[in-house]
Structure 1
């Protein structure tokens, strides 16, 4: 099994959901980014998502857009992100790593070459925001050949007729977008999550992680109790940004502030299923 499947199976056996963390690679600089990423597993992250900065991030809210701009200013490129993952894998062996980004840099790199390079670097899965399942054949064969999971975003607006097609092109886990709109702009309606997840589970055995709009430990706990995991990104990016100096540079507080927040989120996610029981 892939690292992603292995991790979700282990968590299911433990009776708890996953904490999936998102941060933009190279934000605010390569060394600080790598230090945070290396610390995530011990802080309680079960899956690490790394954002690939892009100049036109249409699904990202203001916080993640600014993170991407800081990363690009720090020299982030797609090959640079893959090199960052290689360095991460020197110490983080078992935690799944997912790259989240947009198709243009992948297309410029060459799809087949990118998938092979990503797998060689230690990447386990891809979330390509702007490639719909109807165009999956541009990426899916190359991802499969390289052993990469292709993770799909499913929104509240995805209807029953389209759902089988979306799920049919998905491996690893499903990323359920809890709100309509861009990241980090508002919170989810948690009362509506349980029936939405139940609808997905009628169509697939894949794990479901809920993202977009999760900022507080209590919200992460609700999401992890309703599904198989919670994805937290904007809240972590905002914490990182709040520690930077006036020039946007890391300070001695930056790494610890993010990892302390992850510990709080992880504790809430781990307690969620116990509380429900």
Structure 2
């Protein structure tokens, strides 16, 4: 079902007149067993879409929290094969929640685009965000994903002018990920008033839903962004809970899912009282 699962989820969100909550977690963080429990618990906690990071040793777009999450996962033995195995286990109990992989080119090049796309589709993956794959070099990857009905989801940023935006959305499907702040994840804060016109511009250029991420760590910030975007992506705030739970010898799964639930509620009810949905 792949890409169709993303389209169906956004259609349902539009019908319900609300934004979606996209929860980012790092596969294998802090270990495989715990990561699987978190993954399986996210839909019940309110995640409409799951963004599953695959650990990489040089995650250039990530701030310290997600860098540390990748290091924990790598130290625990997680690799790209293991990420697909986690996704397949999740999919056996959940046929509806879209899973988007987010990561970097090197592991995909090592696997081979065609083989990886086929294996990802078989594992129940719905789309890919490949941070360091510019549109000008994306055709081989896009072809492989298209052949397996997987979405290639691209990043638009505050510095993407209209000409660049047209290139970015050229072979994008599912949704566009709008990076709300310049810089890496988990450092600056997103401002809804500043984001709103860019979201509308990306919607017009792509004809697709727009998910906003980077700079969203609190329930208040998530609710504000949910009023202007089609979905809200939160990552650093969730992986921070992994580190905090380990430091305090608390239950990692419970702490992450509790944070996810709080954020999801803020997003779900952000538009209550608005006369029209975005």
Name the CA shift for 1:275/1:220 in 2 (closer, same or farther; >3 Å).
farther
Matched residue SS, 2:224: helix
Cα pair 1:24 1:51 within 8 Å, conserved:
yes
Matched residue SS, 2:272: helix
Which residues in structure 2 correspond to 1:107-256 (within 5 Å)? 107-245=109-247, 251-256=249-254
Deviations 1:112-171 (A, max 9, x none): 100000000000000000001111202001000011000001000001111111111210
| Residues in 1 aligned to 2:206 and 2:26: alpha-carbon distance in whole angstroms | 30
Cα pair 1:209 1:224 within 8 Å, conserved:
no
Deviations 1:67-119 (A, max 9, x none): 00000000011111001111111112210001000000000011110000000
Cα pair 1:152 1:166 within 8 Å, conserved:
yes
| Residues in 1 aligned to 2:119 and 2:225: alpha-carbon distance in whole angstroms | 33
Instruction: Work out the number of aligned pairs and report it.
Output: 273
Which residues in structure 2 correspond to 1:79-98 (within 5 Å)? 79-98=81-100
Alignment correspondent of 1:99: 101
Alignment correspondent of 1:259: 257
Corresponding position: 1:3 with 2:5: yes
| Residues in 2 aligned to 1:204 and 1:110: alpha-carbon distance in whole angstroms | 28
| Residues in 1 aligned to 2:187 and 2:247: alpha-carbon distance in whole angstroms | 24
Cα pair 1:214 1:231 within 8 Å, conserved:
yes
Alignment correspondent of 1:28: 30
Cα pair 1:125 1:151 within 8 Å, conserved:
yes
| Residues in 2 aligned to 1:223 and 1:190: alpha-carbon distance in whole angstroms | 5
**Structure 1 segments (4+ residues) deviating >3 Å:** none
Q: 40-49 vs 162-171, which deviates more?
A: 162-171
Which residues in structure 2 correspond to 1:72-83 (within 5 Å)? 72-83=74-85
TM-score by length of 2: 0.96
Give 1:276 deviation, angstroms: 3.0
Give 1:204 deviation, angstroms: 2.3
Deviations 1:158-195 (A, max 9, x none): 01111111111210100000000000011012221111
TM-score by length of 1: 0.96
Matched residue SS, 1:163: helix
Corresponding position: 1:43 with 2:41: no
Cα pair 1:176 1:211 within 8 Å, conserved:
yes
Alignment correspondent of 1:273: 271
| Residues in 2 aligned to 1:22 and 1:123: alpha-carbon distance in whole angstroms | 14
Q: Which stretches in structure 2 are left out of the alignment for 5+ residues?
A: none
Corresponding position: 1:12 with 2:10: no
Give 1:245 deviation, angstroms: 4.3
Deviations 1:5-24 (A, max 9, x none): 00000110010010000010
